[in-house]
Structure 1
Amino acid sequence: MSGILYGIGLGPGDPELMTLKAHRLISTARVIAYPAPDSGESFARSIAAGALPGGVREIPIIVPMRVDRFPAREIYDKAAHEIAAVLESGEDVVTLCEGDPFFYGSFMYLFERLSDRFRIEVVPGVTSLTACAALLRRPLTSRNDVMTVIPGPLPDDEIRARIDAAQAVVIMKVGRHLGRLKALLADMGLLERAGYVERASLPEQKVRRLADLDAETAPYFSMILIYKGEEAWTLPLSYSS
């Protein structure tokens, strides 16, 4: 019999935000796979490090950190081939994924390559979206409000249209687009309603009103949350974390 491929959501970064199921599967794993940059440590592996058993076999999936579009097909083709060989031998493979495997998660590229051949179980994780809302101390959305998740690299006119059509907005992948996004939100009269979080749940996290942020670029792990619906939710005047 073939092994099972597990896609494990690790949450936003704090190991205590892993689910009990994720911790159990990681701590009993014999083979793990995880995305890793071409230089430096894997963020996914660092989240799970305290739960890894001794002697576990590791399959790093090296994904170059570039501005150009990824995933590169050959990277996940190669990873899928290596993981498939383990599964065919009867061993399970636990694949680590930051956040949630199916919410902008890299595991989806393995899933599309292997789901027609092997049994796959996906373990959902706490998303950065909900982690950021908790840190800002403001609910994401309510009642019949429409919430829209927007990738920061989209053109201004498309972002503007999607914000106009929503009551709650999450802008992800802020990074080098921070200055442009701040200018757009200021033009729309929404800068004072926007909260900003980077590296949510980690010791170096930063939580601010976007209007108070004096920067033109942001880390990859950063997010802007806006509420423009009918509830009386407002951001506290300042944040110190």
Structure 2
Amino acid sequence: MSKGILYGLGVGPGDPELLTLKGARLLREADVVAVPDKGSGEKTALNIVKDHVDESKVIYCPTPMVRDMAVLDGAYDQIADTVCALLDEGKTVVFITLGDPAIYSTYVYVHQRVVARGYEAELVPGVPSFCAVAARLGMPLCERSERLMIVPASHKDVDDCLAVDANYVFMKAGKDITALQETLANRNLLSGASMVENCGMDGERVYHKFGELDAVSGYFSVVVVKHPQ
């Protein structure tokens, strides 16, 4: 029996209509659809693609929201074990992930483990959250020779990034949103900053002027900063 193939499928930022045609086809044809499970109840990625998925094909893969690398590595190893066992049975497995699988996705750590064990795996791109945010704001991310820097705002101090002459995308700002506002204000960048929370999802909020936000935002918050010319 030939081994199956693993697909890491980006399902986009939230709007179900932004799922690609290839993604929809793979979900229909899959033997198994693997869903990241953070243990918090709602499965955001699955909710986006639910109209394309047979529930009987779904398996849930625990992916804890922690920064303890030992815990995370153990979780990824366990998922890889599960996926490889299915591939050994000749099954096609589609692992769904928000946005694009090559941009800060949980899936990529599973992908690397599966490939290292000699199995076939493919990354299937999806619409990144910051592209959907720029469209929602009605603005380009970069023009002509402008550079673009993508920064995970919640992981470390971002001040060093702001020394680069570029436009910025701050992802996963969440509970650190106030600190980001203060940092941008200190750099005279706040006036060029906009934000969308939960882009394409329920509870979407749009702030064309990021400085007007006066409350903590959710995990799915993306801030776009245009560098003054």
Pick the TM interval, shorter chain.
over 0.9
What's the counterpart of residue 197 of structure 2? 198
Where has structure 1 moved over 3 Å in runs of 4 or more? Answer: 68-71
What's the counterpart of residue 16 of structure 2? 15
Q: Which AA in structure 1 matches 2:186?
A: D
CA contact (8 A) 1:6 1:121 kept: yes
What's the counterpart of residue 133 of structure 2? 132
Inter-partner Cα distance in structure 2 for 1:82 and 1:142 = 44
CA contact (8 A) 1:148 1:166 kept: no
Alpha carbons of 1:54 and 1:185: their partners in 2 closer, same or farther (altered >3 Å)?
A: closer
Alpha carbons of 1:69 and 1:92: their partners in 2 closer, same or farther (altered >3 Å)?
A: same
CA displacement at 1:31 relative to structure 2: 0.6
3-state SS of paired residue (2:76): helix
What's the counterpart of residue 78 of structure 1? 78
TM-score, normalising length: structure 1: 0.88
Inter-partner Cα distance in structure 2 for 1:80 and 1:54 = 21
Inter-partner Cα distance in structure 2 for 1:170 and 1:21 = 27
What's the counterpart of residue 51 of structure 1? 52
Residue-by-residue CA offset, 1:124-177 (whole Å, 9 max, x unaligned): 000001011111111001222121111213544xx2231221320111120111
Percent sequence identity is: 35
Runs (5+) with no aligned partner, structure 1 = 231-241
- After TM superposition, the structure 1 = structure 2 runs for residues 197-216 of structure 1, keeping only pairs within 5 Å, are 197-208=196-207, 209-215=209-215
TM-score, normalising length: structure 2: 0.93
3-state SS of paired residue (1:72): helix
Alpha carbons of 1:155 and 1:2: their partners in 2 closer, same or farther (altered >3 Å)?
A: closer
Runs (5+) with no aligned partner, structure 2 = none
Aligned length: 225
Q: Which AA in structure 1 matches 2:17?
A: E
3-state SS of paired residue (2:133): helix
Inter-partner Cα distance in structure 2 for 1:196 and 1:136 = 8
RMSD between aligned residues: 1.5
What's the counterpart of residue 89 of structure 2? 89
What's the counterpart of residue 184 of structure 2? 185
Q: Which AA in structure 1 matches 2:167?
A: A
3-state SS of paired residue (1:140): coil
Inter-partner Cα distance in structure 1 for 2:72 and 2:55 = 32
CA contact (8 A) 1:99 1:127 kept: yes
